[in-house]
Amino acid sequence: MIYKFKSAATGDLIMLAPNGDQMLRLIGREPAPQGIIEVVAMPGAIAALLAAIASEETPPEDEDAPLPPVGLRQRLWPMIEMLRRAHDADAAVVWGV
C-alpha cells in the first residue's frame, strides 16, 4: 500500500506503507486506508514527530551501535513541513480520498 497525503495548502506527499504506518502510530493514529488530520490536531502531531526524531538521535550508550542509514528526520521532515504549512493555511491533511 502507498499513502498519498493531500492538503489544499501543499503538494501531495507519498509514503510507502511501512513509513506511513510508523508515522501514523507516532502521532497516535492507527494505520488506515483513509483518514484526516484536522487543523486542531496538527500542533500535537508535529510535536510527537519531533519528539520521535529527538529520541532516535539521542546518542546511544553503546558507542558502537550504528545509526540507521536513513533516520526518522529524513523520513518525517516532509510530513512535518506539510503539517506546518497546512496548519498555517487552516487546511486539513487527508489520505485515501
* pLDDT digits 0-9 by tens, 61-74: 766 766 667 788 89
Q: What is the pLDDT of residue 58?
A: 76
Task: Note the pTM of the prediction, 2 decimals.
Answer: 0.87
| 81 is a domain residue | yes
| 29 is a domain residue | yes
**97 compared with 44, residue with greater pLDDT:** 44
Cα-based angle 26, 29, 35 (whole degrees, multiple of 5)? 125
| 46 is a domain residue | yes
Instruction: Identify the domain containing residue 42 by its residue range.
Output: 2-54+70-95
| 60 is a domain residue | no
| 65 is a domain residue | no
Each residue of 14-44: pLDDT tens digit? 999 999 999 999 999 999 999 999 999 999 9
| 62 is a domain residue | no
pLDDT at 97 over 70: yes
- Quote the number of domains for the chain: 1
| 82 is a domain residue | yes
51 residue type, one letter:
A
Distance in Å from the first CA to the final CA of the chain:
14
